[in-house]
Copies of this chain bind each other. A is one copy, B any other.
């Protein structure tokens, strides 16, 4: 993140997200954000109506963008296996490129996940649809697609989580194939 090129709103967004991931939304003070961003406390309110709106906009906007990217990635491939591999690769790259954003969207437990409406594009849905389609098409043994998705997603995200808190040292991209292979074995039950 090149803080030099950022305008004030982007600077606030980025700084806030880092603190939100580090300490949690509730535990992050407006004063923390302001001082970390080098701005006055009141400045945030010129760009966001409230701390809650800031946290929500950060979440919903980026989640949808990530969901759309993931969907685009999936569309570039034809078989379920290729789609899954590409999506996992995309998860890994996204984590390595910006683990703070990745954590805020997929690993944090702010209450915002509950507020995602079904009409919003959503990475979890994209993954689930691919798995469900694979089951229908016969490429993946039939089973409960929710359970299958949950297992695969847990497998991936928990590794990301371990990487984020230091329990794992490799880059996610270097683990991409391991994760793909493991996910596929999970699905070949």
Residues of A within 8 A of B (CB): 24, 26-27, 108-109, 111, 114, 143-144, 146-147, 150-159, 161-162, 165, 167-168, 170, 175, 178-179, 181-182, 185-186, 188-189
Contact = CB atoms under 8 A, between A and B. Distances in A.
B186 A162 contact: no
A44 to B, nearest CB: 17
B168 A158 contact: no
B154 A157 contact: yes
Contacts of A178: 143, 147, 189
B154 A158 contact: yes
A27 B185 CA distance: 40
Give the number of copies in the complex: 4
A29 to B, nearest CB: 12
Given A179-B151, A189-B178, A146 B162 contact: yes
A interface SS class = helix
Nearest to A156: B154
Contacts of A154: 154-159, 161
A3 to B, nearest CB: 27
Contacts of A147: 159, 162, 168, 170, 175, 178
Contacts of A109: 24, 108-109
Given A108-B109, A182-B189, A189-B185, A151 B146 contact: no
Contacts of A155: 151-152, 154-155, 158, 186
A24 to B, nearest CB: 7
